[in-house]
């Protein structure tokens, strides 16, 4: 069997190996320019970039000739809903100059816009807490479960606010901690605590047709004082 050259792509410390046939798929592209052109990478056969390594796994599938669209929750990075992952894949496809993948993404984005139901809504629940119960010092900034349980026990309806938004506003909200990414023991315990908080805040949300999507916390700081409160934002989807 004839030897096929291999090339190393390093993304944020993670190494990926591409073959010549892979980089020539959907070409000309960024990889053929670097590895088959006059750049230094053509000699070293090594390319280092700061792009997302989780998304690159999908790019590799594309370079193997596989269909990667439409995306579902299992194929997306754990912190990305499918809609956001699709737009991020398109951004990477533009960067890597993969014109075929860009066209595929554009087609799916256009079709998804046509199919989006105007009735799909998101219920946003907000709460600001001045105690230390919701403050996290952990590396993942997770909500302390015990603290959340204490807050839930004494929660009054007047201490929360709610609003309903549509897709366009939801897409501008920024990153959430998604329920689907909390699957180990501690993660499921946190999900249960979040669900208990939501039931205390708005009642039986599942009976009303809502499901828990995700949440995030934001510290409230004051100059010279530091953190004085914690904002908790929880999002349900219809």
- The CATH number for 44's domain is 3.30.710.10
Question: Which residue has better confidence, 108 or 73?
Answer: 108
Say if residue 202 is in the same domain as residue 142.
yes
- Which of 59-73, 183-197, 215-229 is least confident? 215-229
Say if residue 109 is in the same domain as residue 31.
yes
What per-residue confidence (pLDDT) applies to 116?
54
Say if residue 82 is in the same domain as residue 136.
no
pLDDT of 142 strictly over 50: yes
What would the pLDDT profile of 170-180 be if each residue is shown by its tens digit? 888 888 889 88
Number of domains into which the chain is organized: 2
What per-residue confidence (pLDDT) applies to 114?
63
212 in a domain, yes or no?
yes
What per-residue confidence (pLDDT) applies to 27?
93
pLDDT of 221 strictly over 80: no
Domain boundary among 78, 93, 115: 115
Say if residue 135 is in the same domain as residue 202.
yes
1 in a domain, yes or no?
no
Instruction: For the chain, give the mean pLDDT.
Output: 87
What per-residue confidence (pLDDT) applies to 36?
93
Domain boundary among 115, 144, 169: 115
* Contact (CB, 8 A) for 136 and 142: yes
Say if residue 104 is in the same domain as residue 149.
no
What would the pLDDT profile of 45-81 be if each residue is shown by its tens digit? 999 999 999 999 999 999 999 999 988 878 887 778 8
What per-residue confidence (pLDDT) applies to 92?
96
What per-residue confidence (pLDDT) applies to 99?
95
85 in a domain, yes or no?
yes
* Contact (CB, 8 A) for 72 and 82: yes
Tell if the pTM clears 0.85, that is, is over it: no
Say if residue 107 is in the same domain as residue 152.
no
56 in a domain, yes or no?
yes
Say if residue 92 is in the same domain as residue 185.
no
What per-residue confidence (pLDDT) applies to 137?
56
Domain boundary among 68, 86, 115: 115
Domain containing 222 equals 122-237
* Contact (CB, 8 A) for 69 and 82: no
pLDDT of 139 strictly over 80: no
pLDDT band at 1 (very low <50, low <70, confident <90, very high): very low
pLDDT of 144 strictly over 50: yes
Distance CA 233, CA 124 (A): 7
pLDDT of 219 strictly over 90: no
């Amino acid at each position: 069997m004839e030897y096929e050259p291999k090339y190393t792509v390093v993304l944020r410390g993670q190494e990926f190996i591409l073959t010549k046939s892979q980089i020539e798929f959907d070409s000309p592209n960024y990889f053929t320019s670097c590895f088959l052109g006059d750049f230094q990478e053509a000699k070293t056969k090594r390319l280092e970039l700061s792009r997302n390594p989780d998304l690159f796994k999908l790019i590799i599938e594309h370079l193997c000739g596989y269909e990667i669209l439409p995306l579902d929750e299992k194929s997306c990075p754990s912190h990305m809903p499918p809609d956001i992952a699709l737009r991020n894949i398109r951004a990477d496809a533009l960067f890597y100059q993969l014109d075929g993948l860009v066209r595929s993404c554009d087609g799916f984005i256009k079709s998804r816009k046509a199919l989006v139901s105007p009735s799909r809504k998101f219920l946003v629940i907000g709460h600001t807490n001045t105690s230390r119960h919701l403050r996290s010092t952990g590396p993942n900034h997770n909500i302390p479960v015990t603290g959340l349980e204490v807050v839930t026990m004494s929660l009054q309806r007047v201490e929360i606010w709610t609003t309903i938004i549509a897709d366009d506003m939801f897409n501008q909200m920024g990153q959430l901690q998604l329920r689907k990414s909390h699957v180990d023991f501690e993660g499921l315990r946190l999900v249960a605590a979040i669900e208990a908080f939501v039931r205390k805040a708005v009642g039986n949300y599942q009976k009303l047709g809502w499901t828990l999507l995700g949440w995030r916390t934001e510290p409230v700081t004051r100059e010279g004082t530091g953190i004085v409160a914690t904002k908790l934002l929880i999002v349900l989807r219809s």
